[in-house]
Amino acid sequence: MKAEFLHQNIIKLLSQRNGLLMLAGILSLSNVLLVVALICKSERIILVPPHIHKVLWIEGGEISKEYLEEMGAYLSKLLLDISPTSFPYNHETLLKYATPEAHGELKKQLIKDGEQYTQLQLSTHFKPAEVIASPQILEVQIKGLLTSFMAGKQVKESQETIILKFTQRGGGLLLESISGGNPHAS
């Protein structure tokens, strides 16, 4: 009688053990699949600027065209929509987006431009008309109307094109180089 009772308990325990082993195997396999999926999937970073007009994103090594356009338009305004009193803030803000390699040269050029704006009492207002973003090469071309004022009087109005070259680092864009856009630089 005791032998039969022990035999039934052993069979019951073996079936419970087998069920738990199967459950543990399934859970282990699902964990391995999740780890593989996590390693293979790139992270999508959702960026939220002060005012959103379009969906902006960075996923792995790709950047949305809209994000490049918004960054280009913002930085072009910081660079060209300035006065003798606003250039220190605009230039300091612009330098926050520069790569460490470009920071020194860009700061030197911005200081030179700032001195010229102060000396001439020059103010410029930039109205972007066209923003062309190339996400493959991380470059933005901004075309627009640059109006120049000296001592409060309009002295020049010209179509200008500025090209901003970016590099992607740490989930964001950093400014690598700027070309064009400042007809007042000597």
Residue ranges per structural domain of the chain? 65-180
Cα dihedral sign for 56, 59, 63, 65? Answer: negative
pLDDT in tens, the chain (186 residues): 678 878 888 899 899 999 999 999 999 999 999 999 888 887 777 666 556 666 666 767 778 888 888 888 889 999 998 888 898 999 999 999 999 999 999 999 999 988 888 888 889 999 999 999 998 898 999 999 999 998 888 899 999 999 999 988 877 788 999 988 665 443
Give me the helix-helix angle, 100-120 and 87-95, nearest 10°. 170
- 65-180: CATH architecture: Roll (3.10)
Tokens (6 digits) for 98: 């520069």
Model pTM score:
0.69
